[in-house]
Amino acid sequence: MQNNKRIAGEFVLDRNNQLTTWQELQFGMFIHLGIYSQLGGVWNGEPIKRGYSEQIQMWANISRDDYAEVASQLTLENFDPQAICSLAKESGMKYIVITSKHHDGFCMFDTKTTDYNVVKSTPFAQDVLKLLSEECRKQGLKFGVYFSLVDWYQGHKFDWNNNNEIPKSMEPIIEEQLQELMTNYGSIAEVWFDMSSPTAEQSAKFANIVHQFQPEAAVNGRIWNNQGDFRTLDDNQIPLINLDGAWQTPASIYHETWGYRSWQQRDDVSGKVRDLLKSLISIRSRGGNYLLNIGPRGDGSVVEFEAEVLQEIGKWIMRHPDALLGTNPTGFKRQSWGEVTANGENLFLHVTEWPKNGKITIPGVMTTVKNVVEDGFNRALNWNKKDLNLEITLPKIPKDELLTTIRVELANELYIVPNTITIDSDNIWKIKLSDIEKSYNFADDGNYTSLVQTNIRQSAYLSNHQDGKAFVQVYCKANPELNYAINLGTEIEVVKGKDLMDGMVGPFILNSEVEILPFNIKLYKPIHRNKDLELDVESIVIKLVEAK
């Protein structure tokens, strides 16, 4: 949104975007539960210290028959969907995603495709997904399913990278299981595919099954071949770069495992809570969703340490009910002292790194500041605003022992003044490489190990006091066959890469009433939303040729 001398500082979600409902979930519970939960990271009395414990069958090289025998010990007698859903809500979470089938191929739902499932092969003899999905609906939580495309029971060999190709012979059972999951458990908010190396046709086919039966469900990027609705980052990845589009970080309370591990070291609850809160804050400040995992035991009970950690996260969120969940990212990048979120007429400054001088500064705040307080306690703080820089003196002893958040109360919605390029005496704006802000996402070439960071937008801002026409010259190396959308102010021109390198683009009509002009380069109708620009810019020159 553009408004004369300023731009909107809060990035509010587009209500017309079909993924907005999913993006608004923001914080969810991941659950890894299966045969591996019964083993708890131990085989033949020895802890298996390689790899994640939910993949113990591979790391301990357990035969199919020996592993299947463990199912007869999976009692799940303490599996309590009501308590799990209540824990999720206490923690501030809005949805739950559970493993329907992991790489071992054991189904935690009632399926006609195989007897290798929780109903037919365990003493529990009940459909875990049915019980949990029904309780989610009762408690107002959204429900989602994890589905592994690697299936050792159906014939995949152990592969440490889990990049197995999917033979044609396995397609029918995957399709039938997906259809069961999409039709037997009510509304599905998210389908979380994982691993393997499907062909582009297979990725499209499996994603289409989800969309056919659950058109509102969001499919994650690990369906591969860039067929997902949102991008799943690496496990526990906290991006330090600007990301465009819908994305999610999957995280585990302990980075070493997702499935239950009996010998996992569990100590320092407050330290763990603080680390996870920092991650949640960082992800929300960049507009991502955070899916935080628990790994119940084989009897279905939640590990007490994990429950306590989640409850403490929930208590912090309750102390700061408007500061994190329900907020939006802003035009401010990560600061040396922490992160920034916004919610209407409130700006929230999350101090994750306490400055030695006890002061924090945030630049470019155009909106009038009314008051500054320690959020959650309403203790007024000393502050001053000079030349659009807001400086705040932090309390010597913060009231929140976990993480301090400062609430800046504004007179109206947040507007900011970005770094701008001014026109020179020759009526030229010269944009250097250092002036360009890049936004990124990730794309893949069919599996986990092919995931690469992509640059999908390049931006700058011009200070403008002119009416007239302007032309853009981009000095660059570009893909000659790609189409680029050049945006200056409110106008867009589409040009092929070969023409972008060879000449000027325009004209663009300028209006002096709009004193900050955004400039962007993106791909025009890319083959997928995270396609790399394939653009190496040296500099950009924008020349005013007809001033009025």
Report the predicted TM-score, pTM, of the whole model to 2 decimal places: 0.94
Residue range(s) occupied by CATH 2.60.40.1180 in the chain: 7-23+326-417
Average pLDDT over residues 256-260: 97
**DSSP state letters, 395-429:** PSS-S-SS-EEEEEEESSS-EE----BPP-TTSEE
Percent of the chain with pLDDT over 70: 98
Residue 193 has pLDDT above 80, yes or no: yes
Residue 16 has pLDDT above 90, yes or no: no
Average pLDDT over residues 338-367: 95
Amino acid identity of 112? K
Q: How many whole angstroms separate alpha carbon 350 and alpha carbon 342? A: 11
Residue 252 has pLDDT above 60, yes or no: yes
Interval 135-174: pLDDT, tens = 999 999 999 999 999 999 999 999 999 999 999 999 999 9
The pLDDT, as a whole number, for residue 251 is 97
Count other Cβ atoms within 10 Å, centred on residue 432: 12
CATH topology of domain 7-23+326-417: Immunoglobulin-like (2.60.40)
Average pLDDT over residues 518-532: 95
The pLDDT, as a whole number, for residue 5 is 57
Confidence band for 219, pLDDT divided at 50, 70 and 90: very high
Least confident of 373-377, 499-503, 542-546: 542-546
SS3 of residue 222 by DSSP = helix
Q: Does domain 25-319 have CATH number 3.40.50.150?
A: no
Q: Which residues pair with 231 in a beta bridge?
A: 247
SS3 of residue 456 by DSSP = strand
Residue 3 has pLDDT above 60, yes or no: no
Interval 422-470: pLDDT, tens = 999 888 999 999 999 999 999 999 999 999 999 999 999 998 888 889 9
**Cβ-contact 486, 495 below 8 angstroms:** yes
Residue 512 has pLDDT above 90, yes or no: no
**Cβ-contact 293, 252 below 8 angstroms:** yes
The pLDDT, as a whole number, for residue 547 is 60
- Give the residue among 60, 65, 33 at the shortest CA–CA distance from 47: 60
**Cβ-contact 325, 288 below 8 angstroms:** no
**Cβ-contact 509, 469 below 8 angstroms:** yes
Residue 489 has pLDDT above 90, yes or no: no
Residue range(s) occupied by CATH 3.20.20.80 in the chain: 25-319
Q: Does domain 419-547 have CATH number 3.40.50.720?
A: no
Contacts 24+ apart (CB under 8 A), 486-494: 486/520, 486/521, 487/518, 487/519, 487/520, 487/521, 487/522, 488/462, 488/517, 488/518, 488/519, 488/542, 489/2, 489/464, 489/514, 489/517, 489/518, 490/2, 490/514, 494/524
Residues 314, 317, 319: CA angle, nearest 5 degrees: 110
Residue range(s) occupied by CATH 2.60.120.1620 in the chain: 419-547
The pLDDT, as a whole number, for residue 241 is 84
Amino acid identity of 262? S
C-alpha distance from residue 100 to each of 172, 290, 332 (Å): 17, 20, 39
The pLDDT, as a whole number, for residue 17 is 83
Amino acid identity of 465? H
Residue 279 has pLDDT above 70, yes or no: yes
Interval 393-430: pLDDT, tens = 999 999 998 999 999 999 999 999 888 899 998 889 99
